[in-house]
């Protein structure tokens, strides 16, 4: 049961419209052939699921794989260490790779992912994020395809969680307070 008040920031309809626009942007940027979508678990899976269907609508036929990354970023000893918890099954060499995640915030995790896939010989690596929270960037990385710029609030829904809850919400909301 939901225990918090959640104010809607981006409706399901607004998200769907934006994802359709992103798919067109991605195709127009040259992601047409040999495309591998890398969905970053767990938060990126809902966005990735909708984005691949929007890509189909835009005439792009991607393959899909998944990776799970863990970053340790406690304020004191923030080394930016990233661990691959679940690696890809696909060889990315020569592929046009589109990394898909929920939020770009510090950018540490995604900067690591981009570098890793480049080192493995991807022809091209680009980053699609549903939300950009630019206020806390640490790594030198920007999204190539960004759904929305997000206010500096804690958000949930559309794959994003708070303590493992709320990923199932069909909209993106701001957790305001306990009910
Ligand atoms: P970073 O860019 O390496 O700092 O990591 C961003 C990740 O932190 C996202 O993929 C989310 O998993 C998580 N995150 C950041 N802000 C929020 C939020 O407002 N709600 C839920 N998860 C968040
Ligand atoms: Mg994440």
Model confidence pLDDT, tens digit, residues 115-172 = 999 999 999 999 999 999 999 999 999 999 999 999 999 999 999 999 999 999 999 9
- Structural domain for 71, as ranges: 14-150
Of 48, 73, 103, the one to substitute when testing ligand 1's pocket (max ligand atoms within 8 A of C-beta) is 103
Q: What is the pLDDT of residue 4?
A: 87
> Could you tell me if residue 78 is inside a domain?
yes
Q: What is the pLDDT of residue 76?
A: 41
User: Measured between alpha carbons, how far is 99 from 67 in angstroms, rounded to an integer?
Assistant: 10
Residue ID of nearest Cα to ligand 1 atom 11: 103
> Could you tell me if residue 155 is inside a domain?
no
> Could you tell me if residue 158 is inside a domain?
no
**What CATH number does residue 102 fall under?**
3.40.50.2020
159 lines ligand 1 (CB under 6 A): no
132 lines ligand 1 (CB under 6 A): no
Higher pLDDT, 41 or 77: 41
114 lines ligand 1 (CB under 6 A): no
Tokens coding 111: 């900067």
CA-CA-CA-CA torsion sign (163, 167, 173, 178): negative
Number of domains in the chain: 1
> Could you tell me if residue 48 is inside a domain?
yes
Residue 155, Cβ density class (10 Å: 0-12 exposed, 13-18 middle, ≥19 buried):
buried
Q: What is the pLDDT of residue 178?
A: 72
How many CB atoms are closer than 10 A to CB 158?
Answer: 25
> Could you tell me if residue 45 is inside a domain?
yes
> Could you tell me if residue 7 is inside a domain?
no
Q: What is the pLDDT of residue 99?
A: 98
> Could you tell me if residue 138 is inside a domain?
yes
Asked if the model's pLDDT at residue 103 lies above 90, the reply is: yes
Model confidence pLDDT, tens digit, residues 72-100 = 655 444 456 899 999 999 999 999 999 99
Tokens coding 41: 């678990």
9 lines ligand 1 (CB under 6 A): no
From 73, 60, 71, 74, select the one nearest 29 (Cα to Cα).
Answer: 60
> Could you tell me if residue 43 is inside a domain?
yes
Whole-model pTM: value is 0.94
């Amino acid at each position: 049961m939901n225990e918090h008040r959640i104010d809607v920031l981006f409706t399901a309809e607004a998200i769907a419209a934006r994802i359709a626009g992103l798919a067109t942007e991605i195709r127009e940027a040259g992601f047409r052939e040999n495309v591998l979508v890398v969905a970053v678990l767990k938060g990126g899976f809902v966005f990735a699921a909708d984005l691949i269907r929007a890509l189909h609508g835009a005439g792009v036929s991607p393959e899909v794989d998944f990776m799970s990354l863990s970053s340790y970023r406690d304020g004191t000893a923030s080394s930016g260490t990233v661990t691959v918890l679940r690696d890809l099954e696909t060889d990315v060499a020569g592929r046009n790779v589109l990394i898909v995640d929920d939020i770009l915030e510090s950018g540490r995790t995604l900067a690591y992912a981009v570098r890793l896939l480049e080192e493995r010989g991807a022809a091209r690596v680009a980053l699609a994020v549903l939300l950009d929270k630019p206020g806390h960037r640490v790594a030198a990385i920007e999204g190539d395809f960004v759904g929305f710029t997000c206010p500096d609030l804690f958000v949930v829904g559309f794959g994003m969680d708070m303590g493992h809850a709320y990923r199932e919400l069909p909209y993106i909301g701001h957790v305001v307070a306990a009910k």
